[in-house]
Structure 1
């Protein structure tokens, strides 16, 4: 504005050239200082925006879960001489403790999914014993498949009837599920939104699980849904036992142990 005013005055007045030159110099210097101040302010604002964005990304992860996975029993589940009704017939000794993340790998038909159902109590073992010392949840390949006409809010409220609806809405909002989405039928939502809703109905349940048994949770999910799944499971503080052929998904969850099943029976490995 100062530069424009100086140019206009130079056209409209008969001041001496030397005075006009000084005015132009002052205007240019003032314009330069204003530009530098504006640049400094923009850089400071950009830094604040980046810091705020980082905080926004971290804070939902911290607020998503109640932290039950970090407390409670140290020993969550034990299996002694467990023989499955299908797949590998070799007996399995298994102990899952707080904080463990176990990847289960092996060929199709080797008994990986059967193992999870037996550990969850959804299927009887041929022999052996399973002792469960803490609440657990089994998520199948459809992630418990929310009913098509059921809303996410209804599913989460049914899993935790005593919870304050306002608190549940806040938690779902932290997952990126706004007030309109959580009240729409599940059939009208994207894969990623259904994944978040299905997981929320399990992870916000009462009692809250301390162990998740995951059976090929990434099957048939698009990329945004897979990313949502990875972020949620990475943020969850509890123990995991996951069956998957998706090496990237398994690596994203940073397994502490790998349980491999094959012709030689059940074998433990340190890495994928």
Structure 2
């Protein structure tokens, strides 16, 4: 582990400098290896030239056969010793390059492709009238909310204010304790615990279930673009990391045969590394449907080009246009 004092801007600047220094050192080691390979090549050529000249001299010299044989053996021994020394030198040069390469962090490219909606859905996506949120205390226990097609709503507020419960109401996994909740669009919820994922299925089989008409090669490619290679895409989902499970869950939602017209995300940035988080932001900005995102990460919400913010404030729920 390495500790970086300072804020996130300081960390990113330090990481950038370290990466550039590591890349420069790697290029230096590669250049040194190329130069040394040239030196070694010249040594081999000089050795071969000396051997050739010695053989010509031996053929013309008036020497006893035993002396000529000794000269030949010494020449071959010298050539063998040079070959062994050069092999050791090349191995040492390769080791220096490998050691420098270890310090160069390779960030795998992550790509999340936006879904294609065959039907954008109704103009009024959802309507909540005095909807009572189960298990939520005042002043957040009831809510009036109308969601129109194409809106992008970021939900924020303190813990216990009912943000996750609101998403579950919209998804239909819990019923309101009072009032009315009407949702007219095809809806999908990705909760924090990824409860929809079957533990013993693989990412590939789960995606095949979501899109049975797609060929396996295309599905494998989509998973690979998410960083789930052939090995990871076939492992049981419970054996994957939190970030890998989140990617599998996202793939099953976004690459389904009929993608959701209303996408509900509860803390989608949890478990993701920085390249994956950047890919998620890019994909969500291309998502053509209606989006409601719960997140404590203000940078993520700011990056999603929201149309509205729904805040659980001191006096209850307040919807603000952005």
- TM-score (normalizing by structure 2): 0.58
Matches of 2:174 and 2:156 in 1, distance apart?
Answer: 20
Match for residue 68 of structure 2?
A: none
Matches within 5 A, 1:171-250: 171-250=222-301
**Are 1:98 and 2:149 matched, yes or no?**
yes
3-state SS of paired residue (2:155) = strand
Q: 174, 179, 186: which is aligned to 1:135?
A: 186
Distance 1:233 1:191, change over 3 A: farther
Matches of 1:90 and 1:142 in 2, distance apart?
Answer: 23
Q: Check whether the contact 1:65–1:236 (CA below 8 A) recurs between aligned residues.
A: yes
Matches of 1:227 and 1:191 in 2, distance apart?
Answer: 17
Residue deviations 1:12-48 (CA, integer Å, cap 9, x gap): xxxxxxxxxxxxxxxxxxxxxxxxxxxxxxxxxxxxx
Residue segments in structure 2 that go unaligned for 5+ positions in a row: 1-108
Matches of 1:264 and 1:144 in 2, distance apart?
Answer: 32
Q: 74, 82, 107: which is aligned to 2:131?
A: 82
Matches within 5 A, 1:95-134: 95-134=146-185
Residue segments in structure 1 that go unaligned for 5+ positions in a row: 1-56
Q: How far is 1:191 from its partner?
A: 4.3
Q: Compare relative contact order (CA 8 Å, sep 6+) and give the higher one, 1 or 2.
A: 1
Residue deviations 1:103-132 (CA, integer Å, cap 9, x gap): 111111111111111111111111111111
3-state SS of paired residue (2:204) = helix
Distance 1:220 1:163, change over 3 A: closer
3-state SS of paired residue (1:127) = coil
Q: How far is 1:148 from its partner?
A: 4.6
Q: Check whether the contact 1:64–1:174 (CA below 8 A) recurs between aligned residues.
A: no
**Are 1:254 and 2:305 matched, yes or no?**
yes
Matches of 1:186 and 1:122 in 2, distance apart?
Answer: 23
Matches of 1:85 and 1:245 in 2, distance apart?
Answer: 22
Q: Check whether the contact 2:210–2:257 (CA below 8 A) recurs between aligned residues.
A: yes
**Are 1:152 and 2:203 matched, yes or no?**
yes
Matches of 1:178 and 1:221 in 2, distance apart?
Answer: 17
Matches of 2:183 and 2:231 in 1, distance apart?
Answer: 38
Q: How far is 1:269 from its partner?
A: 1.7
After superposition, the CA RMSD in angstroms is 2.7
Match for residue 91 of structure 2?
A: none
Q: How far is 1:250 from its partner?
A: 1.0
- TM-score (normalizing by structure 1): 0.68
